[in-house]
Chains A and B, each alone.
Chain A
Amino acid sequence: MRNHRGVRVLAVVAVALLGMSHPETASAEDESASLEGTVSVGGYGASLDGVTGRVREYDVDREDLDPDLKLELFGWNETNRFDLRTEFRNETELDLDASLDAGKNVDVKFSHRSFYHSLDHDLLGNLGWRERVGVDSLGGDVGGGKMLTSEDTDPLAVYGVRVTDTKERLEVHVPVGTGTTFLAEYRNLSREGTRQVLGVDHCANCHVRGQTAVVDERMQQATLGLSTVLSEVKVGYRFSVRDFDNRAEAARNRFMQARHPVSGASGAEFASRLLYENETLEVSKTPNNLTRSHAVEVAVDLSGSQTVRGSYLRTDAENQSAGIKMETNAATLAWQARLARAVRASASLTRRELQNDSWELDLPNWREGRPGGGQDFDWTRLSAYDREEYLGSARLVWAARPGRNLRLDYALHSTDRDHVLLDPEDDSATRTVQNTIRATWSERIAKATRARLSAEYEHTSLPFVSVRGICEESGSDVFVPIDGGQPSDWLYYFQREKIGTGASLPTKAVRLKGNLTHGFGARASVSAYANAAFEKNDDLNLYDFERSVVAPGFSALLMPSDEFVFATGVAHSRIKSNAKLCVTVMDG
């Protein structure tokens, strides 16, 4: 695989003539109007031969230099201003930002960005294996029926998409009365190109096939909003609709006929374990989805020193391909106040409820007609989205003196999931409660030197875990009779109960951050920082999860002029984590 080959050669040649050139600036000015413009001409190139996918993630491999053209225009008169910036490299890489302030009442913004995003190409080189069931009389391996093969049907393909993101925003401040604003936004985000689709088929042997698929996705989002200020009360409403449209045909994969991988016989033995065989079916199909949301917000300014805000949000999301609908209702109440000249405080509480459609799955019986088979595998998918959440926060800021600042933060996040179990021993354990306290001290040690320290402790009761996700109980005696049958040594996949609980989230965490910055005037600074985190989850039933992160760093910044910026830094990051690795023994 290319990504595991290592970075043998990293040769990126970026000819930044743009930054080295002297832009030609022209301006025209009279007493009441001005027009300034800058044109920059340069070139850009990147040679990426042998560079791994992730390093070259946003670069296009070029044989020659592309032009790099930049145009900036800025004009204004007494009542209007416009600002235009654009950069062009090729038909894929184009940036354009424009804004217009027409008088005091109309603001228009437009931006367009397009760039290339390289996608991974897995050559599947690690997928080759045949089981060894013994040794023949000559000492050679005797192969069994279990095999793993793969094929990449398009090994020379280079995968990537052109991402195009266009945003428009219109804001109109109604001139009659005060503080009434109308807002309209539109966004069009598209991805076009090709990607690799992998499909796994285990009818006769386990076979992974890689193929090329078209990417043609478009997301459109429109927002309409209205807000007004009535004395000390600000009221706002927003309606937003987001439409994701996958316009590409789904890739298809051939699922072979089920049969014994060596003899080719006994099809029913294998077919009875599968939902489908001997068919060509769609794979990796991204469904269309539509999201509508309504938001109402009211803010009341009490006495100029404290504000109370309330908001309500209703969101309806729909998977339009499957017809699944989900509803979100959220209400927030927040308060903030300046209690004294040097003391500020805030608190908020949000309640959020999500309800997603359940889904009935009508599946064939397990190994119908086979010894020990015939069990009904129909089930109802109850969504992990279904939940009730409370998010609370409180903050107290004490500016002890100019330049010295102490902050205390508290955060609560309570999540009660309807269908996700968090404790294998307790069927009612569905609620996670996370409490976080943080103290931050900020100090201007000298006129140009600032220091900042923060310490955080987080305790989580029943964090999100994979219950019975790991470690099968050993021994055939754990397998119980099915449907009143006799105890059996038949080992069925669905009987292999896992007894361990695995997690990558801690129950206790201590996180420390420190930062020291010294400025040499406005154009140079040095900064040293260190982050550390020590996290532990000792509520798991088989092992203690631990993770530690230590990341010190140093950086320096020098700006001789606005055109030249030198920045350098060294960052060291050490992350250590442990978890239990359970490897099961294949049966059957």
Chain B
Amino acid sequence: MPATPRKRARACARAGPRICAALLTLLPGIPAFAYEVDSFDARAAAYVDDAACLECHEEYAASTTVHRDLEEFETAAVVTRGCQSCHGPGSLHVESNDPDDIRNPATADPVVANRACLQCHRADDVGAFEMSLHAAADVSCVSCHDIHGPQRGALLRSSQPDLCVSCHQDQRASMYLPSHHPVREGRMTCTDCHDPHGSTPSAASAGRPNDLCLSCHARHAGPFIFEHSPVIEDCTICHAPHGSVANALLVQNEPFLCLQCHQAHFHATIPGIDGEFTSLDGYSAVSTHDASKRGFLTKCTQCHTEIHGSDLPSQSISGQGAALTR
């Protein structure tokens, strides 16, 4: 059974600052902060033998899930009661067969549903789930996990990305934009980048900027001699990771993206001849009056190819080698 607010307050007062203890004591006294999330009153029922559960719920007798074997996990003292480890004492339900006489995490308030899971999983990486964005949005463990399902694929109700985009519809739309990560092709999953149980920052998330992106795109890790500072700052200044109409997941097509921070190339205003020409080196091309605009205002990375950084100096001294063209 979870500790009562008063017990928690006493424990908090011993371990933490006094103001915390005061809050823990006072807040539950305010009606708005103290609604009863658990409609099932476990104190009125008693634990019964698991066999009594399986007499009616025989479909779970052959379940392959690890949760069916909870009573065998002798090291987790709180879950030695099989089905009732999560559903609470079942005597009233056994007598009445009334669904309201037992706790059902599938229909219970998410706070109650999650608490049943976190009895065991608090020590896991998912232990901070209660403070996650998902929990804050009333997503409970059983929203995504089928606790009675077969022990496959983390008990997910369906595979990724279908499970995630059933709520995150805008991200599903992004995946169908012309440039996207191969998520809908099944080559990546949402959890390659996102931690659905995430909450407070972990040690792993406090690394260098963009470390998440670099965990796959390590060729851009450098650190380079010649840097492009927005690359260091945040990949999402230029890239939209869920999908984009522009190539290479760019948030805008070139040159408009580049022109947000840089001025247009100084050759772009010079008029051109109309007709063919051949350079001294023997290269022929066709020029038009506006050809300089076409050449210098279409795609900056045709010349500034190493936009993520380079160790090789560019050719012009005036750029001090830092023009990222080599």
Contact = CB atoms under 8 A, between A and B. Distances in A.
Interface in A511-564: 515, 517, 525, 527, 529, 531, 545, 551, 553, 555, 557
Given A132-B289, A517-B167, A529-B169, A342 B34 contact: yes
A23 interface: no
Contacts of B302: 122, 124, 127, 198, 200, 208
B199 A275 contact: no
A393 B201 CA distance: 9
A403 interface: yes
B244 to A, nearest CB: 9
Interface in A212-244: 217, 219, 221, 229, 234, 238, 242, 244
A303 to B, nearest CB: 3
Interface stretch (B52-60, B83-91, B220-228): B220-228
A466 B262 contact: yes
A421 to B, nearest CB: 11
Interface in B1-41: 2-3, 5, 7-8, 11-12, 14-16, 20, 23-24, 27-28, 30, 32-37
A334 B205 CA distance: 13
Nearest to A97: B153
Interface stretch (A49-57, A423-431, A479-487): A49-57
A138 to B, nearest CB: 13
A289 B8 contact: no
A469 B285 contact: no
Interface in A186-224: 189, 197-208, 217, 219, 221
Given A129-B295, A332-B203, A405-B137, A377 B305 contact: no
A493 B318 contact: yes
A16 B2 CA distance: 51
Given A322-B311, A324-B224, A442 B272 contact: no
B146 to A, nearest CB: 11
A201 to B, nearest CB: 7
Nearest to A243: B218
A343 B173 contact: no
A282 B312 CA distance: 8
Interface residues of A, number: 201
A281 B199 contact: no
Given A126-B295, A289-B218, A346-B131, A551 B170 contact: yes
Contacts of B182: 57-58, 115, 117
A338 B247 CA distance: 46
B190 to A, nearest CB: 15
Nearest to B26: A340
Contacts of B257: 504
Given A148-B292, A315-B208, A517-B167, A296 B2 contact: no
Chain A at the B interface: SS class:
strand
Query: What is the interface residue range for chain B against chain A?
Result: 35 or more
B198 to A, nearest CB: 12
Interface in B275-326: 275, 277, 279-281, 283-289, 291-292, 294-296, 298-299, 302-303, 305-306, 310-322, 325-326
A420 B223 CA distance: 16
Contact of A54 (B8, B27, B179): B179
Interface in B178-203: 178-180, 182, 185-187, 199-203
A268 interface: no
Contacts of B15: 302-303
B150 to A, nearest CB: 7
B286 A312 contact: no
A242 B215 CA distance: 8
Contact of B326 (A151, A199, A440): A199
Contacts of B273: 130-132, 141-143
A275 B263 contact: no
Interface string A272-300: 11111100011111110101010111010
B311 A321 contact: yes
Contact of B303 (A198, A393, A472, A569): A198
Contacts of B94: none
A387 B200 CA distance: 22
Contacts of A301: 122
B53 to A, nearest CB: 20
A471 interface: yes
Contact of B224 (A273, A287, A304): A287
Interface in B122-157: 122-123, 127-128, 130-131, 135-138, 150-153
A478 to B, nearest CB: 15
Contacts of A197: 305
B320 A361 contact: yes
Instruction: Specify which of A57, A312, A403, A493 lies most central, judged by the most chain B CB atoms within 10 Å of its CB.
Output: A57
B170 A586 contact: no
Given A262-B280, A286-B219, A148 B224 contact: no
Contacts of B313: 275, 361, 363
A131 B269 CA distance: 10
A356 interface: yes
Contacts of B66: 81, 101
Contacts of A291: 221
A586 B270 contact: yes
A281 B312 CA distance: 10
Given A342-B111, A469-B261, 20 more contacts: A52-B178, A131-B273, A219-B218, A261-B280, A303-B3, A305-B11, A315-B208, A377-B320, A381-B322, A385-B208, A385-B227, A398-B33, A470-B261, A502-B259, A503-B261, A531-B170, A569-B169, A571-B170, A573-B173, A581-B263
21 contacts: A128-B285, A128-B291, A131-B273, A207-B281, A208-B303, A242-B215, A246-B219, A305-B11, A312-B203, A319-B311, A322-B225, A332-B200, A335-B200, A344-B131, A350-B201, A393-B201, A399-B109, A469-B261, A469-B263, A577-B260, A583-B268
